[in-house]
Amino acid sequence: MLTLPFSVPEAALTDRESRDLSRLTREVGGIWLRAADGQPEGWPAATDPDAIALPVAEAPVFAPHRTRAALRLTTGENRGFRLPDAVPDPSRWSAAILWAADEPALALLAVRPERGGNPLHLSDTEEGLVFRDDDGTASATLPRGQGPWRLTVLACADGRLTLAQDGRQASAQGLRVPPGAAHLLVGHRSLRRGMRKTLGAGRIAGVWLWPGLDILSDAEAAALRGALDGFRQWEV
């Protein structure tokens, strides 16, 4: 590698999309967990060093997969993380996940109210990619998707769930969200051992969370939407 002894404008850097996404995420008070920063004992957010996701049950495993650092999910074992109180108002938030799986990875991401009651979760199943609540009042489904890595975006706002991947969107209405802060769960949906049928094999390379913002439709999130599109174009 040739190294130039000076700086160039950020727009000329090949990681400018990551930088934009990181900066914009930080500006709106969001969180980006990158598998490259993850350790079995704690997974700090690249955008906010005070936000550290903690292991839930069995020791998590980070390993490179298809040239990317990734959290490894194992069938029947809960090797996931939780980020406590990450979503202060679960009635409005959005998130994204960069993941890979050959067979259905099952639980990928969940937002679980602290005091229990109606968690929302994203699962990769035989039937497709499903984003729904536990009570079964709202459920959005898309095909599982193509490609070694998939970038899936979730939004929850005004009682409506939206799931987006590969340029497709699905949404569902009628969601009721209990008040109070919620945890973000990565790689599982239950906060405990057991529930083995919800735990499949897969990889997670990154998770974004934007509390209070619906990045799929809020007008003020246009720049973030653009940055996420840039990231998808260049780095997925």
Q: Cβ of residue 234: shortest distance to other proteins, in angstroms?
A: 8
Burial 151-190 (b: 16+ CB within 10 A, else e): bbbbbbbeebbbbbbeeeebbbeebebeeeebbbbbbbbb
Closer to other proteins at the Cβ: 73 or 205?
A: 205
Closer to other proteins at the Cβ: 35 or 172?
A: 35
Closer to other proteins at the Cβ: 26 or 193?
A: 26
Closer to other proteins at the Cβ: 12 or 59?
A: 12
Cα–Cα distance measured from residue 207 to residue 214, given in angstroms and rounded to the nearest whole number: 16
Q: Cβ of residue 129: shortest distance to other proteins, in angstroms?
A: 21
- Supply φ then ψ for residue 235, to 5 degrees: -125, 5
Q: Cβ of residue 135: shortest distance to other proteins, in angstroms?
A: 30
Half-sphere exposure of 186 (CA within 13 A, CB side): 35
CA 199 vs. chain centroid, Å, equals 16
Q: Cβ of residue 105: shortest distance to other proteins, in angstroms?
A: 19
Closer to other proteins at the Cβ: 9 or 136?
A: 9
Closer to other proteins at the Cβ: 24 or 177?
A: 24
Half-sphere exposure of 87 (CA within 13 A, CB side): 33
Cα–Cα distance measured from residue 41 to residue 52, given in angstroms and rounded to the nearest whole number: 10
Q: Which residues bind other proteins (CB under 8 A)?
A: 1-8, 10-16, 18-19, 22, 34-37, 46, 64, 66-69, 205-206, 217, 219, 222-223, 225-227, 229-230, 234-235
* Residue labelled with tokens 């639980």: 107
Q: Which residues contact 7 (CB under 8 A, 6 or more apart)?
A: none
Q: Which helix (H) or strand (E) holds 194?
A: none
Q: Cβ of residue 184: shortest distance to other proteins, in angstroms?
A: 20
Q: Cβ of residue 7: shortest distance to other proteins, in angstroms?
A: 4
